[in-house]
Amino acid sequence: MKLVDVIAAVLLIIGGLNWGLVGIFEFDLVATIFGGADSALARLIYTVVGVCAVYQMIQFKGIQSRWSSTSA
């Protein structure tokens, strides 16, 4: 499960940076790379980032306990 936690965290960081670019510079990097905000691929990226946010929210306590254990 730690791999899923890391993937979700990385995608949330990417999503957060994209929203920062939108807020500060009015520049949507995901839309630029994937052909506009309404393109199927950009919408898929936005959806995956949203799913990762929901996963992190629901699994918050479980993630904390998995990462604070001392097992290798």
For the chain, the structural domain boundaries read 2-67
Is 71's pLDDT higher than 60?
Answer: no
CA pseudo-torsion sign 52, 58, 59, 65: positive
Cβ atoms within 10 Å of 48's Cβ, excluding its own: 15
Both tokens assigned to 48: 């995956």
Q: Judge whether residue 64 has pLDDT over 70.
A: yes
**Token pair for 44:** 């898929």
CB atoms closer than 10 angstroms to residue 65 = 10
Q: What is the pTM of this model?
A: 0.78
Predicted confidence band at 70 (pLDDT cuts at 50, 70, 90)? low
